[in-house]
Structure 1
Amino acid sequence: MEKHVKELFTWKVLNEAAQKFNIVESSLKDLEGFQNFVYFGKSNETSVVLRVTHKSHRSEEEILSEIDFINYLSKNNVSVSKAVNSIDGEFVEKIDNGEFYATSFEFSSGRKARIAEESNLFYQIVGNYTGRMHNLSKKLNPIDDLNRRKWHEKEFLINMKKYLPAELSYVIDKYEILKNELSRLPKNTDSYGIIHGDLNHGNYLNVDDDVVFIDFDEAEYSWFVSDIAIPLFYEIPIPWVIDGKQRLEITKRYYNNFMDGYVKENTIDQAWLKLIPDFINLRQFGVVSAIYRSYNFHNYDNWSDWDKEALKFYLNNIKNDIPYIEMDFCR
C-alpha cells in the first residue's frame, strides 16, 4: 500500500477498530496484509480476522457490496469466510472519523495451499467452488447490482504509469494493447459478472483437503475466465524454480483437476478457455505494477533470489511477447 497510508495507520486506529468488534487488544497479531491492515484476534474466545481499509482503497459501499456477495455465496453452499457483525450490529465501521473502515471475518483454521503439492481432490474442489460461484454470479441482476469496480479499474492497472520507471514504458504500451483487445470481448451473463478477482494459493485455504475461499477484497466485474487464469498464474512455478516438462506437467495437473471440478457447476465455452493466456498476461501486468509500487528497489540486493528472478521472468515475457506457459487450454 501507499507509504502515506501506512503512516496514517496508528495503534490508536487499530485499537479503535478492535473495540468496535469486541476484539481483545492483547490477542491481536499482524497477518501482514498487502492492500489492507489485517490482524488475527480473539472476540469472546472466538478467533476472528480484523481488516482495516483506508478510504482511498475502498469506499464503504464497495465493502458492503463485497460482504453482500460473500453472504450470497455462503447461503448457496460456497465455502467462504463470512463477515462478522460489530458490537453495534454493523458489518462495516468507520474508524478515525471515516479515514478508515473496519470489518471482521471468521477465522479459518485452514492453511495456505502449497504450490504444486496439494492433492488432485483439493484442486477439484477449488474448481468446483469457483464454478459454483460463477454460476451464482450469473443469477445476480442487474449486472451492476453490486458496487464493485470493473476489471480495468484495479489500482495496479490504473496507476501503472505512476508506479513504473520511464525505462519500462514498453510495459505500459503493451498493457494498453492488451486492454484494448480485452475491451472488445463480449460481456453477457454467460461470460461476464462479479468474480473473486484474486484466487490464489493464499486465498483458498486447505482444511483437511476441503477448501475455504477468503479475501474477496479484489472482487470485481470481469470475465469468468479470469478467475480460472489467475490461480494458474500463481500455481505455475517460475522457470527458475522448475522448468521444462516438469513445469508443464504441474500446470496440466492443476488445470485438469480444477476444470474437472469446475464443469460440474458451470459451463464455459471453449472460446473463453483459449483466452486463458491473455488473462494470465493481464495478471502479470498487474503484478509487475504491484512490485514497483510496493518493493524497495534501493534495497534490491537484499531481495530474495525468487523475487529477483520472478521480476526478470515477468519483464522478459512482456518485452518479448513470450507466453507465461506454452499449453493448449482447450478441453
Structure 2
Amino acid sequence: MDPDSSGLPRPLYDALHREAQGLMRRYDVSERTVVSLLHQSENTMFLVRDPARPEPVVLRVHSQNLSYHSAPSIASELMWMQALRRDAGVIAPEPIPARDGSLVQLLSAPDLDKPRHAVIFSFLTGAEPPPETLIDNFERLGEITARMHRHARAWTVPRTFTRHAWDFDAAIGAHPLWGRWQDGMGVDPEALKILTRLAGVLKRRLERIGTAREYFGLIHADMRVANILVENDVTKVIDFDDCGLCWYIYDLATALSFLEEEPTVPALIAAWLKGYRKVMPLQREIEDEIPTFIMLRRLLEVAWLGTRRHLEFAQGLGAGFTAGSCRLAQDYLRRFG
C-alpha cells in the first residue's frame, strides 16, 4: 500500500514506520528485515519480511483512539485468540512473542502523536471471498461463528482477562466507543429525526431481550467479509481487535456490515443460520430480532465513518451511507416501531 494513500499525515506515518522498523530489534529476526505498509484502517498494519524466514508476519500498531487499546485489554484479546486456536480449531493469526516473551509492545517517540501499542501476528494466506461466493461462504461463516460462541460459553476466563462490552450505551448510547452517530457524515435534521427514533426503538427492544448468559457473551464483534480469508475450502478469521461482550447474534449483523441494502441479504442470513445450526441451536426469540441487531450495527457504522473521515474507505461511502441508513431505518420502523 502506498503510504500517501493511508490517510495519515506524512510526518506521522514516517514516525510510525520508523518506530515499527526499530521494533524489530526486540524480535528474533535478521538485520535485513523490512517493514512496509500493508493496510490502514482503525489501526496501522505493516507487513514484515525477513529474508532469513520463509513467511512474512504482520505487525499491528494500534491507533490508541479506543478505550480498549490498553495493554491489558489487548493481552486479553490475544488470550482468546490463542484459546480458539488451541481448543476450538478456529484458524486465526498466532501472536508472536518478542525475545523476552512479551506479546504486547509499546512504541513511543517525541514525534509520535501518542504512545501506541503493537503486536506481531503470523501471516495467514487466503483472500476475501468474492461476491459470487458469498452465500456459500456465509454458511461456513455461520458454522465457524457458532464454534466460537460455543467456546466462549464454556471457556474459563483467565483472572486477568478484561474486555469491553458492546451494550447499547457503548455502541450508540451515552458512552459510544466509536463516537456519536449524530456526528456521522450527512446527518442533517431530517436524518437526525429518523435515526433518533430508530435509536429509541432499538434501546427498548434490547432492554427487553436483556443480557442473560444464553444471549450475551464474548464475541468477535467484527465478522465482516473483510475479516474473513478463504483458501480453497478453508475459512480463516482475522482482526479480533473489537472482540468483547455482546449479544451473540450481533456477530451475524457484523457479517452484513456495509451490505445491508444488498438484495442478497435474506439469502445470506439464511445461509449463516444454516451453518450456525450445524453446531448449536439459536433461540427463536433471538432469530426474530435479527433486524434489530442489523440496525444496531448500521447505526454504529454511521458513527465509525463519521469519526474516520480521513480514511479513503469512509470518504468513498460519505453522506450516501447515512441516506441509505435512513431508508433502512424507515423500513425497520414500519415493522418494529
Q: CA deviation at 1:187?
A: 1.9
* Equivalence for 1:223: 247
Does the 8 Å CA contact 2:96/2:120 hold for their aligned counterparts? yes
Specify the SS of the correspondent of 2:225: coil
1:147 aligned onto 2:162: yes
* Equivalence for 2:237: 213
* Equivalence for 1:259: 273
1:73 aligned onto 2:84: yes
* Equivalence for 1:196: 220
| Structure 2 unmatched ranges of 5 or more | 1-5
Normalised to the residue count of structure 2, the TM-score between the two structures is 0.79
Two-structure CA RMSD over aligned residues (Å): 3.4
Cα distance change, pair 132–115 in 1 and its aligned pair in 2 (3 A): same
CA distance in 1, matches of 2:320, 2:283: 35
* Equivalence for 1:242: none
How many residue pairs align between the two structures? 309
CA distance in 2, matches of 1:178, 1:119: 28
CA distance in 2, matches of 1:173, 1:3: 35
* Equivalence for 1:269: 283
CA distance in 2, matches of 1:207, 1:177: 41
The correspondence of residues 1-331 of structure 1 with structure 2, limited to 5 A, is 7=12, 10-22=16-28, 27-43=34-50, 44-45=52-53, 46-57=55-66, 58-76=69-87, 77-96=89-108, 99-118=115-134, 120=136, 122-141=137-156, 146-152=161-167, 153-154=170-171, 157-161=178-182, 167=189, 169-170=192-193, 171-172=195-196, 174-236=198-260, 238=261, 247=263, 250-295=264-309, 304=316, 309-318=320-329, 321-323=330-332
Q: CA deviation at 1:114?
A: 1.9
One-letter code aligned to 1:63:
I
Larger CA deviation: 174-183 vs 35-44: 174-183
Cα distance change, pair 62–180 in 1 and its aligned pair in 2 (3 A): farther
| Sequence identity percentage | 18
Does the 8 Å CA contact 2:163/2:245 hold for their aligned counterparts? yes
Does the 8 Å CA contact 1:191/1:268 hold for their aligned counterparts? no
Specify the SS of the correspondent of 2:45: strand
Q: CA deviation at 1:216?
A: 0.2
| Structure 1 unmatched ranges of 5 or more | 240-246, 327-331
* Equivalence for 1:244: none
Does the 8 Å CA contact 2:183/2:303 hold for their aligned counterparts? no
Normalised to the residue count of structure 1, the TM-score between the two structures is 0.80
CA distance in 1, matches of 2:291, 2:235: 25
Cα distance change, pair 142–212 in 1 and its aligned pair in 2 (3 A): closer
Does the 8 Å CA contact 1:123/1:258 hold for their aligned counterparts? yes
CA distance in 2, matches of 1:93, 1:17: 8
CA distance in 1, matches of 2:240, 2:57: 16
CA distance in 2, matches of 1:234, 1:192: 24
Does the 8 Å CA contact 2:21/2:34 hold for their aligned counterparts? no
CA distance in 1, matches of 2:192, 2:7: 22
